[in-house]
């Protein structure tokens, strides 16, 4: 994984795990990789992975079964979607519309560009 400098690595790790849940890699009550396994996979310090898992536990995205590991909390996908949509609407969308206005890009232009991207797939 390529990490950026704009936010802490443990946050980027928790974001990645959330994206894996959103994409269906992990479903409700699925076991996720152990802290050590995930740290090795992403080539980070185990303590960093611990912070990511602790954050996700606090947010009730994952839960720990003592001696068995971490699992996806039932309903986590729905919870992540809700939080991500809210963040998108509050943070990303206003900037997107600002850029569209500056560059004189209409909603129709965006729709056409989206159609073009879909036909390439």
pLDDT tens for 60-87 read 999 999 999 999 999 999 999 999 999 9
Q: CA-CA distance, 22 to 51, in Å (whole number)?
A: 21
Tens digits of per-residue pLDDT, 78-112?
A: 999 999 999 999 999 999 999 999 999 999 999 99
pLDDT exceeds 80 at position 120: no
Closest listed residue to residue 76, CA positions, set 89, 48, 57: 57
Strands (E), the chain: 62-65, 69-72
For the chain, percent of residues with pLDDT exceeding 70: 99
pTM of the model: 0.82
Question: Average pLDDT in the 10-21 region?
Answer: 96
């Amino acid at each position: 994984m390529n990490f950026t400098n704009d936010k802490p690595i443990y946050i980027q790790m928790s974001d990645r795990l959330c994206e894996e849940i959103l994409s269906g890699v992990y479903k409700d009550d699925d076991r996720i990789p152990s802290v050590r396994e995930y740290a090795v996979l992403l080539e980070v310090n185990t303590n960093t992975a611990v912070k990511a898992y602790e954050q996700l536990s606090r947010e009730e995205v994952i839960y720990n079964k003592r001696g068995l590991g971490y699992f996806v909390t039932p309903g986590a996908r729905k919870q992540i979607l809700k939080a991500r949509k809210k963040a998108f609407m509050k943070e990303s969308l206003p900037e997107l519309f600002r850029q569209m206005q500056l560059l004189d890009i209409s909603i129709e232009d965006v729709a056409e560009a989206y159609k073009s991207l879909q036909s390439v797939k």
